Structure 1
Amino acid sequence: MTAHAALRAATRDAHDQLDSHFSGYDLADPGDYGRFLTAHAAAFLPIEEALDRAGAARLVADWPTHRRRDALVADLADLGLTVPAPVAAPAYANDDALLGGLYVLEGSRLGGAVLKRAVGDTLPHRFLSAPQESGRWRRFIATLDQFLYSGASLSRAGDAAKATFACFEQAVTVPRP
């Protein structure tokens, strides 16, 4: 089983649960879309920062181009919203954990491209429209396979990916104005 397949299997339930929460938002409605982005920001921003601190650039050569913080903050500002209080991000204490966290954020980029189609035409969508140049996901999957080759490393990555999904789960279930 490839590292990608193992991580997908390990996080399937967490991913499905999170999708069920986020699917309740009408992304064409400015209020719902604002709440959707606010919930994302509460988790995404501290997670991306934690990945930076843990050394994402060591494992993903073009990591700076993967960051979406500025796009998300700009979309919130365009909607007249402020950056919400952050949830606590995982520590990503080793490279296996770091790759587990990156797996969730990189996968969310792919999901964002799909969700963007539901966003109202007049609403900002930089975060969901973040560039995904050809081959980026395949290169990332190759990185997973290069580093996550043992059962122990896959387990650590899976635990970190589930902890990352849990941050988003916490952010989406906390009531916000």
Structure 2
Amino acid sequence: MNAHHAIPESSTAMPGAAGGGVRARRNGARFHLRDVTRGEHDDTEAAFAPFDLSKPAGYRAFLQAHNGALAALEGPIEGRGWPEYASRRGLLEADLADLGDAERPSAMEPPALSGDAHVWGAQYVLEGSRLGGQILARQVAKGSPTRYLSGNDEAGTDDMRPWQEFCAALEDEARRHGPQWLADVEDGARATFRLFREAAKIFSGTTI
């Protein structure tokens, strides 16, 4: 089974955020971002399609690609954007260590995330992938470590709260700052999708 990146608003991963009516939720910033970045999302899923998570080499390459992208993102987003954001890179590196991979990720060019809104865009992608990862974890061979995809030291967690809390905070910020801020969020999300596609391209040749 091939891996999809499973980032925000995939049909299997993203129930609506809590609160408000259906029409109000679908008119919010979160759904706007889903719509305007749909092409980026789909292209990124296609880039990760060759990674077969049920096979050790494919799963390891998938984690290496994510590690490379996260290494490039950590500096620009650290201490910025959503105050509750927490990196999962430690969990990812623990999984790679269990798989016998202790190499540092390939150096990648950090995306241009100059403004705080750009960071929110990057975090939109990362928080969506956190929830989508819980679905991808089911594709991984039994006995393989899945801390990163599960989002916890214990495999099999299924907690919507971080995504719902992020979406609620995103809505508050969008109402407070207005359309230009949201446009910058879009740019940050697009840059993050591109970064993950580049990482997939680097490591897709190591999946066999």
> TM above 0.5, one fold?
yes
Q: Secondary structure at the match of 2:149?
A: coil
Q: Which has the larger radius of gyration?
A: 2
Is residue 158 from structure 1 mapped to residue 186 from structure 2 by the alignment? Answer: yes
Provide the residue aligned with 1:52 in structure 2.
78
Partner letter of residue 78 of structure 1?
Answer: D
Equivalent residue for 1:116, pick from 124, 129, 137 = 137
Provide the residue aligned with 1:71 in structure 2.
91
The alignment's TM-score, normalised by the length of structure 2, stands at 0.76
- Specify every segment of 5 or more residues in structure 2 that has no aligned partner in the other structure, as ranges: 1-26, 153-157
State the alpha-carbon separation in 2 of the partners of residues 134 and 13 from structure 1.
24
Partner letter of residue 100 of structure 2?
Answer: G
Provide the residue aligned with 1:33 in structure 2.
59
Provide the residue aligned with 1:94 in structure 2.
115
State the percentage of identical aligned residues.
36
Partner letter of residue 190 of structure 2?
Answer: K
Question: What is the number of residues matched between the two proteins?
Answer: 171
The structure whose residues are more often helix, as a share, is: 1
What displacement does 1:26 show? 1.4
8 A contact 1:113–1:128 mirrored in 2: yes
Deviation by residue 1:6-44 (Cα, 9 ceiling, x = unmatched): 111121111111111212221110011111111111102
State the alpha-carbon separation in 2 of the partners of residues 111 and 135 from structure 1.
13
8 A contact 1:41–1:86 mirrored in 2: no
Provide the residue aligned with 2:104 in structure 1.
83
C-alpha RMSD of the superposition: 1.7
Provide the residue aligned with 2:8 in structure 1.
none
